[in-house]
C-alpha cells in the first residue's frame, strides 16, 4: 500500500487512527496488537504471499534474541555461534530473494555454468526489516535486553517505516511502544503529523513526480544507443538527482508525520543533503539511519578507524561497496558504492592533511568550504548517473556526455529559442544599425538551418532537453539549497528523534498550532491530492 494512494489516505489511515484512539481510551493493552494487525494488512496489501515470510522472520529473530539474552549475551561463548547463525540466516534469506538471480546470471555469463533462476519477486521492504533485526540481534548480544513478543512485532512491522525506512533502533523505539499513554488522542500531535504528511505528499506528487518525466528520456535513450551531448547529459543527471531527492524526502516526511499522529517519534533520516560541504557530511544527511547502520554494524566490525591508514581506507571502501550492493543487485549499484567509497577515502585523507596544516585566515576557510560544497554537489550528481542507469555501458555513455566527449553542440530546442529571441530583437524599433540587423538575420538563418525540419519543442520532448526541464531544475535547486528542511520547520513538535538540535530557521516558517498553518496544510493536501494520478511508487520501494 502506498502512502500516496486513495485507499491509504481515505480508508486505511482513518480506520487505523480511529481504532487506535478508541482503544487507547478503553482498552489500552489492545492498541499494540491493533497496530501490529494493521501493519500486516498494510504490508500484505501489495502481495499477501509474502506475509508468512515477514511473520516467520519476526518469530525467528525474536526467539534467537531471547535465547541470546537469557544466556547473558556475549558472556556466553555459545551465543557467538548462535548470533553468527542467526545473522547468516537473515543474510541468506535476503541474498536468495535479492541476489540469487544476479549471481546466477553473472556466473553463467562468466563460467558458462548454465545456471538459471526463474524471476524471483522481491518482497517489499525486505532490506529494511532484515537490517533492523540484524541490528537488534547484535545489540542483544552486546547488552542483553528482554521485550514482549507483541512489542517486538510492532517494532519490526510498524507501517510508517516498514517499506522504505527509516531503519529503527530498538532502544529508541521500545520505550515509546510500551508507553500506552502515547497512543491517546492529542490534537497537537495529529495536527503536526498532518502538516508533515501534507508537506511530504506535496513533495511526492507535485515536485518529485513533476520532474520525473524530464529525467527518464536521456537515461532510456542511452540504454538504446543514444549519446547525449553535454547539456542533455547534465540536465538529465540534475533532473534525476532532484527527483530522487524530493521523492526520498517526501517519504521520510510522510513516515514521520504518520507516526506523529499516533504519538510516536521516528529518527531523522533525511536532512538537506545537497547543502553538504563534503562527502562525509553528505552521508550524515542522506539516508541517515542506513549510514548509521553501516557505520555501527559493518565499518566498526571491520575495525573502523582503529587500524592503520591503509586498513581504515579499505574498511571504508568495503563498507560502501556493500552499501551500494544493498540498494540493488546490479553492477551499477556496486560501481556507485565503490565511487562513494573512493570519495570518502579522498575526503578523509584531505581532512587528515588539513589538520596537520596551519589553520589559515577565516576568509581562506570560507573559500575552502565553498569549493568543498561545489565539488561535493558535482560528485554526488555524477554518482547518481551510476545509481540510475540501466547498466554500466549506459552510465558510461551519459558520463561521457557530461564530460563533453559526446559533443558540445546546442540542442535543437535551444537553437529554436535563440532564433526566436533574435527575430524578436530585430523586429523591435530600437534604432539598431542596419549592419547589426543584417548580421543578426544572417546568423538567425544559420541557426534555422541547424534545426531539423518539422521539429517543434513540443514534438521534441523525447530525448532532447526543453525549457520546461530547465525551469524545473532551477526551481527545485533553489528549494533544495535555500529552503528550510522539515526538521527545522517542526523543531518544536518533537516529531523527530535526534541527538542534535535543529538548525534555526525563519521564525515565521516554524510550525505552530494556529490558523495560518491550518490553511497551509489544507492547501498542500488539496494540491497534493489533485496531483495524484495513477500509481507512483516511491523510488526506495525498489530496495
Q: Which residues are bridge partners to 536 per DSSP? A: none
Positive or negative torsion for Cα 129, 388, 539, 196: positive
Q: Can you say whether residue 415 is alpha, beta or left, with left for phi > 0 and alpha for psi between -120 and 50 degrees?
A: alpha
CA nearest 463: which of 273, 218, 114, 103? 218
Q: Residue count of the chain, please give it.
A: 543
Decide: residue 326, CB within 10 A, 0-12 exposed, 13-18 middle, 19+ buried.
buried
- Give the whole-angstrom CA distance, residue 325 versus residue 338: 10
Grid cell of 383 as nine digits = 554518482
Question: How many other CB atoms are found less than 10 A from the CB of residue 265?
Answer: 19
Using CA atoms of 10, 11, 12, 15 in order, give the dihedral in degrees to the nearest 10: 110
Angle CA 234–239–240, to nearest 5: 105
169, 327, 340, 348: which is the annotated catalytic residue?
Answer: 327
Grid cell of 418 as nine digits = 535563440
Q: Is 327 a catalytic residue?
A: yes
Q: Name, in order, each residue with C-beta under 8 angstroms of 482's C-beta and a sequence gap of 6 or more.
A: none
Grid cell of 210 as nine digits = 513533476
Which residues are marked as active site? Answer: 327
Amino acid at each position: 500500500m502506498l502512502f500516496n494512494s486513495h485507499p491509504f489516505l481515505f480508508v486505511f489511515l482513518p480506520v487505523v487512527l480511529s481504532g487506535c484512539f478508541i482503544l487507547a481510551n478503553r482498552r489500552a493493552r489492545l492498541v499494540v496488537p491493533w497496530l501490529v494487525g494493521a501493519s500486516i494488512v498494510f504490508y500484505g496489501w501489495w502481495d499477501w504471499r509474502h506475509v508468512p515470510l515477514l511473520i516467520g522472520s519476526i518469530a525467528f529473530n525474536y526467539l534467537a534474541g531471547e535465547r541470546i539474552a537469557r544466556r547473558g549475551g556475549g558472556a556466553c561463548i555459545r551465543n557467538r555461534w548462535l548470533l553468527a547463525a542467526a545473522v547468516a540466516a537473515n543474510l541468506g534469506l535476503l541474498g536468495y530473494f535479492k541476489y540469487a538471480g544476479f549471481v546466477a546470471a553473472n556466473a553463467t555469463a562468466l563460467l558458462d555454468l548454465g545456471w538459471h533462476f526463474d524471476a524471483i519477486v522481491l518482497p517489499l521492504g525486505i532490506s529494511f526489516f532484515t537490517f533492523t533485526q540484524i541490528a537488534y540481534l547484535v545489540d542483544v548480544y552486546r547488552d542483553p535486553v528482554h521485550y514482549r513478543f507483541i512489542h517486538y512485532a510492532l517494532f519490526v512491522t510498524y507501517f510508517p517505516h516498514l517499506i522504505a525506512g527509516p531503519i529503527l533502533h530498538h532502544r529508541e523505539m521500545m520505550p515509546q511502544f510500551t508507553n500506552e499513554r502515547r497512543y491517546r488522542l492529542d490534537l497537537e500531535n495529529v495536527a503536526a503529523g498532518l502538516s508533515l504528511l501534507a508537506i511530504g505528499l506535496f513533495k511526492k506528487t507535485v515536485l518529485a513526480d513533476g520532474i520525473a518525466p524530464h529525467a527518464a528520456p536521456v537515461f532510456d535513450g542511452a540504454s538504446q544507443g543514444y549519446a547525449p551531448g553535454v547539456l542533455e547529459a547534465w540536465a538529465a543527471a540534475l533532473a534525476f538527482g532532484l527527483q530522487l531527492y524530493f521523492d526520498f524526502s517526501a517519504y521520510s516526511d510522510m513516515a514521520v508525520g504518520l507516526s506523529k499522529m499516533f504519538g510516536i517519534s521516528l529518527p531523522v533520516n533525511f536532512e538537506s543533503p545537497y547543502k553538504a560541504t563534503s562527502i562525509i557530511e553528505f552521508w550524515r544527511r542522506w539516508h541517515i539511519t542506513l549510514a548509521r547502520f553501516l557505520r555501527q554494524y559493518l565499518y566498526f566490525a571491520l575495525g573502523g578507524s582503529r587500524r592503520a591508514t591503509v586498513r581504515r581506507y579499505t574498511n571504508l571502501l568495503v563498507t560502501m561497496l556493500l552499501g551500494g550492493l544493498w540498494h540493488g543487485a546490479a553492477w551499477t549499484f556496486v560501481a556507485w558504492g565503490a565511487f562513494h567509497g573512493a570519495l570518502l577515502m579522498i575526503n578523509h585523507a584531505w581532512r587528515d592533511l588539513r589538520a596537520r596544516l596551519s589553520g589559515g585566515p577565516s576568509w581562506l576557510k570560507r573559500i575552502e568550504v565553498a569549493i568543498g560544497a561545489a565539488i561535493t554537489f558535482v560528485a554526488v550528481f555524477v554518482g547518481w548517473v551510476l545509481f540510475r542507469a540501466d547498466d554500466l555501458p549506459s552510465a558510461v555513455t551519459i558520463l561521457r556526455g557530461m564530460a563533453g566527449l559526446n559533443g558540445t553542440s546546442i540542442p535543437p530546442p535551444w537553437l529554436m529559442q535563440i532564433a526566436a529571441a533574435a527575430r524578436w530583437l530585430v523586429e523591435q524599433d530600437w534604432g539598431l544599425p542596419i549592419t547589426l540587423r543584417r548580421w543578426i538575420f544572417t546568423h538567425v538563418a544559420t541557426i534555422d538551418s541547424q534545426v531539423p525540419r518539422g521539429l517543434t519543442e513540443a514534438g521534441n520532448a523525447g530525448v532532447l532537453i526543453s525549457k520546461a526541464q530547465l525551469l524545473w531544475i532551477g526551481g527545485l535547486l533553489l528549494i533544495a539549497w535555500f529552503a528550510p528542511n522539515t526538521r527545522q520547520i517542526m523543531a518544536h513538535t518533537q516529531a523527530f528523534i535526534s541527538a542534535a538540535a535543529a538548525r534555526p530557521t525563519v521564525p515565521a516558517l516554524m510550525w505552530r498550532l494556529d490558523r495560518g498553518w491550518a490553511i497551509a496544510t489544507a492547501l498542500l493536501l488539496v494540491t497534493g491530492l489533485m496531483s495524484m494520478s495513477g500509481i507512483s511508487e516511491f523510488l526506495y520501494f525498489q530496495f
